[in-house]
Chain A
Amino acid sequence: MPDTFPTSGAHTRMGSNSGQPMTRRDGLAKVTGTATYAADNRPEGVLHAVYAMSSEARGQVTSLNVAAALAHPGVVHVMTPENRPPLARDPDSKPGGMALRTEALQDNSVRYVGQPIALVVAQTLEAATEGAALLSPTYAVEPARIGFDGGEAFETDSTGFGSPPTVNVGDIEAGRAAGTHHFDATYETPLQYHNAMEPHAIVAEWDGDHLTIDTPNQAIVMARGAFADYFDIPAENVVLRSPYLGGGFGSKALPIGPQLLTILAARELQRPVKLALRRDQMFGPVMHRGATRQRLRLDMDETGQLTAIDHHTTATTSSFDTFIEGASAASRNTYASPAIATSHSGVRVDTGTPGAMRAPGEATGSAALECAVDEAAEVMGLDPLEFRLRNYAETDPQTGKAFSSKALRECYALGAKSFGWENRPLAPRQMRDAQGHLVGWGMGTALFAAHMNKAEARAVLRADGSAMIATAGADMGQGAWTALAQIAADGLGLGIDQVEFRSGDSTLPNGGVAGGSGHTATAGSALFAAGEGVIRKLADLATEDPESPLFGAGNAGVVARDGRLHRADDDSRSQSYSEILRNAGVEELEGKGEGARDPGHAEARAMFSHGAVFAEVKVDPELGQVRVTRLIGAFAAGRIINPHLARSQLLGGMIWGLGFALMEEGIHDKRTGRPVNGDLAGYHVPVNADVPMVEALMVHEDDDFVNPLGVKGVGELGITGSVGAIANAVWHATGVRPRSFPIHLETLIG
């Protein structure tokens, strides 16, 4: 087995830039340490803030020794519920759409461990840290409610940010009755914390009623509006700068209490104030993935065709807000079945509110579904791939619509061939390596919706034939600085070096949300359209100019390429952009574009990215220790703008799947509600030595429906399928079916 695989080469070019495996345009800044993350900003006179966090999960703060904190040298301000200035928007309000309640010292109550209970501002970070410690809070403590059986169960009217909790297809009872073979099991997944390497940070500075904030954000213009609402100023008075995010994974879109308090402090003190969360503060107010308990009931006829899928999820949320991990949704679109029932309920526990964490719903749902499907294949005595193929969804099981594109069959074939799946023994515990370790092979199907949101872009072609093009996009590592610039250059018919791409700043047109794996599709579509707008105007100038070689080409049309317009019917007749502008006496041309899903296409087609993940694990038969030795995925996600970066995204997602399967688990003490492993020593994520051989192969896919670019998304796809593949490989190695994540070694021995 080679140690690394070459990158798959089959990619279609779109224009001269898209489709090329360019290295990151922000690479130079990132390897030299000059990329400026929020906390790297050091405005003149900046003060340092630290928030004191609750050590109790529920109750009231009864005292804070503010005098002691203020007496500490260097401390200049202590903000508590007593003196916290008013906010124009109630932090407990939810104005609809993407919003969650947050904790900004609105009262003395405590809702979870890690909640802000005061903000200390000082001349130095050391003094602010000491000042926060000197507050020595006392509490009236109420018992913490932790875990599925510790909290209050409730029926939910939504999952995620307002999705329907219940979707049923066909007659589930009839489907169940039609089955000759039945499977019923319950799976559990734990709380997981995003833990981006960059803790949330903000530097806030006021100038009159104008606010400038440096803070990492995945939805820059949306967040600007939310911040403006809290401070009762027009949105255009807020400048939010977020050129680089040190990872986001869903946790850096919504304003959180500590940011609001820092902005308030900056206004009170009329000084810039910086706050960076400590790592232990990343286990409280910045969202997480709620725990799930998922019951899967699958019914099959004698040929192994599913006759019913019933997927019910109970997910944890906080005591004061509702975000339910929509795990059952995974069963709506993956496998064909005449009857599908999916539903959700909630349990309120004393943690922070969960939120979107990489593949929210899909990651947890796919983990359980892919395990269940594998177990069902065993019930039928079928190879797991064969079972999946027998239940291949030719149309969307939820809506009956045709898929906009679906090369999953090709993904299965490519992945299986690359992995060597055909040599897999059907029964478990059949393979050992030279050291006597049990070897197992498993697989899972990857699926993620091809979302789009809405974005805008603006392009300006300059007299010298170069262009500026802008959208407030967000690069949290997925490669927006590069992939969006590639698309933008193609829209303008220019080489990428002729294009100045501006992004990451709220003064630019709305770049939409870097979330739901839809940023390249959405912001990319807006940029491409803005470029096209410029080219249309340019073509009008040229084709109406009797001196131009393009004169009269209006009907035949022109093609923009490498800074020149060519007649569509005679490529030899062309003119440079700069010459067209000069002859027309025009200094510059502006184009605007929007990116959004075509409603007609959305109505007509179901749109998903797909993939197949194959895993090999080795398990120490004495110790139960699991090592993933190979992880190979094959993915079809529409047109790939940059295969170099898309591969990295997919690999990252797959390794998140590895962490999900074997490591990640936010444990809260049942008596106190305190995180037991609230740091990176205790909350395990994969490190380099955990990742020996992983490869993401790409299957070409044309899609005329998702958007004119044919782009789906790859950011979250990799985590789906991977968790199940690893768990199923663990079963194949050991004969033990993991039904609780992460897979603990003690469940594999005995």
Chain B
Amino acid sequence: MTLSISLIVNGEQKDIALEDPRATLLDVLRDRVGLTGTKKGCDRGQCGACTVLVDGRRINSCLALAASQDGAEVTTIEGLATGDDLHPLQAAFIEADGFQCGYCTPGQIMSALGLIREGLADNDPERIREGMSGNICRCAAYQGITEAVIKGHKAMTDTGESQI
């Protein structure tokens, strides 16, 4: 049985014929839409590497069945930069060395964006650490991540981007 779903991915409509209803949003993004920036670290919602925004809120895309997301607006790491212009959070992650191997980084950045948009970052390192703790970084670039969220948040506030 084929299920037809439609996703708005980074502003573009994607009509997808799902031959297999068991496919997760993560696997559909990676294997069907071809956006492999979103990573699979655990496939069970324990590491945060697959974090994307769905309708503006951060979720673990490995825990969402694609079939249940019909009509959703999905933002992935590929949707943040405008041409060659990095999103302020992306630039801040580079500047603060908020990663090493980079595998968790797309999820970290999407989670940071969600956190800021949820109004939970509050420019407070302690709240950021707590709010980013669903995203494991085995290289343990945590200090850089926290610094990047503060810097990125500030840059977003300056340009008005942190408003929903």
A735 to B137, CA, bound (A): 33
Min distance, Cβ B129 to any Cβ of chain A, angstroms: 4
Chain B residues near A4 (CB-CB < 8 A): 143, 147
Q: A245-B101, A247-B101 are in contact. Are A688 and B129 (CB under 8 A)?
A: yes
Chain B residues near A249 (CB-CB < 8 A): 138
Secondary structure call for the B interface: loop
A366 to B43, CA, bound (A): 35
A195 to B102, CA, bound (A): 15
Q: A39-B40, A197-B49 are in contact. Are A246 and B103 (CB under 8 A)?
A: yes
Cβ B100 vs Cβ A688 within 8 A: no
Complex partner residue of A652 from B78, B103, B141, CB under 8 angstroms: B141
A656 to B137, CA, bound (A): 11
Chain B residues near A649 (CB-CB < 8 A): 100
A36 to B78, CA, bound (A): 13
Complex partner residue of A36 from B22, B36, B91, B142, CB under 8 angstroms: B36
Min distance, Cβ B57 to any Cβ of chain A, angstroms: 19
Cβ A31 vs Cβ B86 within 8 A: yes
Complex partner residue of A37 from B94, B95, B103, B133, CB under 8 angstroms: B103
A647 to B102, CA, bound (A): 16
Check: B77 CB closer than 8 A to any chain A CB: yes
Min distance, Cβ A579 to any Cβ of chain B, angstroms: 33
Per the 8 Å Cβ criterion, residues 122-148 of B in contact with A are 125-126, 128-130, 132-147
Chain B residues near A651 (CB-CB < 8 A): 140-141, 143
Chain A residues near B44 (CB-CB < 8 A): 279, 679, 681
Cβ B145 vs Cβ A688 within 8 A: yes
A647 to B139, CA, bound (A): 12
Chain B residues near A644 (CB-CB < 8 A): 97
Min distance, Cβ B139 to any Cβ of chain A, angstroms: 5
Cβ B94 vs Cβ A28 within 8 A: yes
Q: A279-B44, A679-B42, A685-B136 are in contact. Are A478 and B143 (CB under 8 A)?
A: no
Chain A residues near B43 (CB-CB < 8 A): 278-279
A29 to B103, CA, bound (A): 11
Chain A residues near B114 (CB-CB < 8 A): none
A308 to B41, CA, bound (A): 47
Chain A, residue nearest B100 (CB): A477
A644 to B96, CA, bound (A): 9
Chain A residues near B128 (CB-CB < 8 A): 688
A29 to B77, CA, bound (A): 11
Q: A33-B38, A651-B143, A655-B142 are in contact. Are A687 and B136 (CB under 8 A)?
A: yes
Chain B, residue nearest A649 (CB): B100
Per the 8 Å Cβ criterion, residues 107-135 of A in contact with B are 124-127, 130
A681 to B44, CA, bound (A): 9
Chain A, residue nearest B149 (CB): A688
Kindly name the residue among A124, A199, A652 whose own CB sees the greatest number of chain B CB atoms within 10 A: A652
Check: A393 CB closer than 8 A to any chain B CB: no
Chain B residues near A33 (CB-CB < 8 A): 35-38, 76-78, 106
Q: A26-B102, A645-B97, A652-B139 are in contact. Are A198 and B133 (CB under 8 A)?
A: no
Cβ A197 vs Cβ B94 within 8 A: no
Cβ A126 vs Cβ B22 within 8 A: yes
A697 to B80, CA, bound (A): 34
Per the 8 Å Cβ criterion, residues 241-262 of A in contact with B are 244-249
Number of interface residues of B (CB under 8 A): 63
Cβ B100 vs Cβ A648 within 8 A: yes
Cβ A197 vs Cβ B101 within 8 A: yes
Cβ A279 vs Cβ B101 within 8 A: no
Check: A30 CB closer than 8 A to any chain B CB: yes
A244 to B19, CA, bound (A): 32
Cβ B129 vs Cβ A30 within 8 A: no
Chain B, residue nearest A279 (CB): B42
Kindly name the residue among B34, B40, B146 whose own CB sees the greatest number of chain A CB atoms within 10 A: B40
Chain B residues near A124 (CB-CB < 8 A): 19-20, 23
Number of interface residues of A (CB under 8 A): 66
Min distance, Cβ B114 to any Cβ of chain A, angstroms: 14
Cβ B86 vs Cβ A198 within 8 A: no
Contact with A along B36-68 (1 / 0, CB 8 A): 111111111011010000000000000000000
Chain B, residue nearest A34 (CB): B37
Cβ A689 vs Cβ B129 within 8 A: yes
Q: A197-B39, A197-B47 are in contact. Are A477 and B94 (CB under 8 A)?
A: no
Min distance, Cβ A418 to any Cβ of chain B, angstroms: 16
Per the 8 Å Cβ criterion, residues 170-209 of A in contact with B are 195-199
Complex partner residue of B42 from A31, A648, A656, A680, CB under 8 angstroms: A680
Chain B, residue nearest A39 (CB): B40
Per the 8 Å Cβ criterion, residues 22-77 of A in contact with B are 23-24, 26-37, 39-40, 42, 74
Chain B, residue nearest A3 (CB): B125
A81 to B18, CA, bound (A): 34
Chain B, residue nearest A46 (CB): B31
Cβ A680 vs Cβ B100 within 8 A: no
Cβ B93 vs Cβ A37 within 8 A: no
A652 to B34, CA, bound (A): 32
Cβ B97 vs Cβ A23 within 8 A: yes
Chain A residues near B31 (CB-CB < 8 A): 42, 125
Contact with A along B143-160 (1 / 0, CB 8 A): 111110000000000000
Chain B residues near A244 (CB-CB < 8 A): 101-103
A100 to B19, CA, bound (A): 41
Chain B residues near A24 (CB-CB < 8 A): 94, 97
Check: A694 CB closer than 8 A to any chain B CB: yes
A377 to B90, CA, bound (A): 48
Chain B residues near A655 (CB-CB < 8 A): 140, 142
Check: A476 CB closer than 8 A to any chain B CB: yes
Chain B residues near A688 (CB-CB < 8 A): 128-130, 132-133, 135, 137, 142, 145-146
Cβ A197 vs Cβ B34 within 8 A: no
A681 to B143, CA, bound (A): 22
Check: A88 CB closer than 8 A to any chain B CB: no
Complex partner residue of A197 from B38, B76, B126, B138, CB under 8 angstroms: B138
A587 to B91, CA, bound (A): 39
A549 to B44, CA, bound (A): 67
Min distance, Cβ A686 to any Cβ of chain B, angstroms: 6
Chain A residues near B138 (CB-CB < 8 A): 195-197, 247, 249, 685
Min distance, Cβ B130 to any Cβ of chain A, angstroms: 5
Chain A residues near B47 (CB-CB < 8 A): 197, 279, 680
Kindly name the residue among A124, A197, A244 whose own CB sees the greatest number of chain B CB atoms within 10 A: A197
Check: A86 CB closer than 8 A to any chain B CB: no
Given A33-B36, A244-B102, A477-B102, 10 extra CB contacts under 8 A:
A24-B94, A28-B94, A32-B78, A33-B106, A35-B102, A124-B20, A126-B23, A246-B39, A246-B101, A651-B143
Top 8 A-B residue pairs of the complex, sorted by shortest distance between their CB atoms: A33-B37, A246-B103, A477-B101, A477-B100, A30-B102, A655-B140, A33-B77, A40-B36
12 contacts between A and B (CB under 8 A): A4-B143, A24-B97, A31-B109, A42-B36, A125-B23, A199-B40, A249-B138, A479-B100, A651-B140, A652-B139, A652-B141, A686-B140
Chain A interface (Cβ within 8 Å of chain B)?
3-4, 23-24, 26-37, 39-40, 42, 74, 124-127, 130, 195-199, 244-249, 276, 278-279, 475-479, 644-645, 647-649, 651-652, 655-656, 659, 679-681, 685-692, 694
Chain B interface (Cβ within 8 Å of chain A)?
19-20, 22-23, 27, 30-31, 34-44, 46-47, 49, 76-78, 80-81, 86, 90-91, 93-95, 97, 99-106, 109, 125-126, 128-130, 132-147
